[in-house]
A and B are shown apart, each in its own frame.
Chain A
């Protein structure tokens, strides 16, 4: 048992336990956390992500804006500037960035499920597919449910279908989650893996609706910026040449959606919901007996994650304007998961970096014949991307199991919680009640902050 405890250390511990000077106690973890659960970080505020976060949190709000906005603009400008070393050769850099935007959005959504609530979802690609197919089914002329003939104008059909795609994926998240979230760990992973495949197989086999393996073409996209040069607008797949091609425009759309998603998810993380997710991830039974309605919060995570995946799917359908089942292969789920794990589960900015790595690296090598004067076969390297990502994950699990940018999440503090409760109570101007009891005042707060009465 105490092989590592030298006699000196033990006696030092004993003396300091008596005298309350807790100075020289190098606390050794005498009991490890329950096996099978990986704590986010063993030491508080230690990782690179943590240091960045501490630095960021210390800044004043205006300073945060002053740094954040130009930073986002710089990233948005990347495909326009096309920095020499960064630019891809095999694929257009604009469409690589557009792809990155979509995967980043997916990583943010999947991070809510896997990173925040600790639910291993291996079928996330299913929600991506449902989002894409919702838009395609409603706007493609090949689909029996096409609405663009009668009452949806092709100009804004994509935008009109975006909320529908969000709603449909959220509902499918609810339908998948309600029965399966009662399962735990491995069982959940297996069931979700099956879900991802079921969605793809449905798309492949419901020929009369989804067009089967032929897919659905001519999906709607926003008709904006129509000119002589771009007869179908800047978002059309036809706008493929030049610096300001469709890929760049779609990248910009995804940046807007990413910022919105980050604001929503960030606010959730800092609320009672976020605190519940962390508790569930760390010890579900303990969370339950602390009074966290675990099932309800797991379902929330699932639904929110699904909705974000659906947005990304809608983006994809609009950008490519063509959906086929093979795009939603289960291997994509693994790639998305890889982005989340690489970036650091639970760190929503880290997973964006993870998404960049996953999308950009293969494209960096694609079509490249030399790097720094050394001749390489880039296409061959890009072909082996799954091998390399697999190896990277194995190495990561050995040397850095918390991902490249682990970050401890800031949990809702009591002071803020009280403020939120007070604001909600003020909004609810309900008959004050006698308010003398201990638990009497609680339900009102619960309802207001969770938006979900029992």
Chain B
């Protein structure tokens, strides 16, 4: 059974429907990517999974449990946590305080477990360790993205949702972020990744879905899609 199973989900903003019956699955341990142009509905999908936006039709099942109508904060307890589009770092909180917010709902059983997780995050992002007392709002875009991912990891997610982590970053930082995402996945965390940077995302993911104006138009193993002429044409911007 898949860890996340979205079936025929539609999401609307007022009268305008942004998703028209999207179905996708994420298996335990997978790194799955959702690619698509601006406005295709990628963020909307993520918001529906984390509970910020209620679907008008269809269902979301997580680990065998129907969570379609579940409140967002309860989904966090289930183990779904998101690093949102635009990072959503708390600007006035320090790096440490931001990270502590990640485990707000999923508290630890012991201080040792907490310190271990924090050390793990600092190991993945040494930059955050250097700047642990800096206020989130003053950090660079790349650092904020690292903080957003690190914060999500503090919840020890069972499903990590990453919405365009490469947005607005320099190529060198993007490569670094993608490497770390792969590493997080290799260490056993299931990841659902949204990207416009199709080349990097597809080459690193097990499977991928292509979203076009609210519909899934293609899906398959990442490398297969990378070779698909239609995908190449539309998303890899042969230039």
Chain B: which residue is nearest A409 at the CB level?
B92
Given contacts A285-B84, A291-B76, A439-B79, contact A27 B104 (CB under 8 A): no
Find chain A residues with CB under 8 A from B141 CB. 30-31
Contacting pair A285 B97 (CB below 8 A): no
Contacting pair B135 A44 (CB below 8 A): yes
Contacting pair A291 B106 (CB below 8 A): yes
User: Among residues 271 to 306 in chain A, which have CB atoms less than 8 Å away from a CB atom of chain B?
Assistant: 272, 275-276, 278-279, 282-283, 285-294
Given contacts A41-B92, A279-B104, A435-B109, contact A289 B76 (CB under 8 A): yes
Interface membership of B137, Cβ < 8 A = yes
Contacting pair B92 A291 (CB below 8 A): no
User: Among residues 122 to 158 in chain B, which have CB atoms less than 8 Å away from a CB atom of chain A?
Assistant: 126, 130-131, 133-141, 144, 151, 155-156
User: Among residues 362 to 412 in chain A, which have CB atoms less than 8 Å away from a CB atom of chain B?
Assistant: 408, 411
How many chain-A residues does the 8 Å CB contact rule pick out?
A: 51
Docked complex Cα distance between A408 and B109 (Å): 28
Interface membership of B91, Cβ < 8 A = yes
Find chain B residues with CB under 8 A from A415 CB. 111
Given contacts A40-B92, A414-B100, A415-B111, contact A292 B140 (CB under 8 A): no
Could you say which interface size class chain B belongs to? 35 or more
Main secondary structure of the interface of A (DSSP, over half): loop
Chain B: which residue is nearest A438 at the CB level?
B156
Find chain B residues with CB under 8 A from A414 CB. 100, 108, 111, 114
User: Among residues 235 to 291 in chain A, which have CB atoms less than 8 Å away from a CB atom of chain B?
Assistant: 272, 275-276, 278-279, 282-283, 285-291
Docked complex Cα distance between A260 and B110 (Å): 33
Docked complex Cα distance between A418 and B115 (Å): 12
Find chain A residues with CB under 8 A from B82 CB. 289
Interface membership of B72, Cβ < 8 A = yes
14 contacts between A and B (CB under 8 A): A29-B140, A39-B92, A39-B137, A42-B138, A43-B135, A283-B90, A287-B101, A288-B51, A289-B51, A289-B81, A291-B105, A294-B73, A411-B93, A411-B100
Given contacts A40-B92, A44-B135, A291-B73, 8 further A-B contacts (CB under 8 A): A22-B131, A30-B140, A31-B144, A39-B137, A289-B81, A290-B76, A418-B111, A446-B105
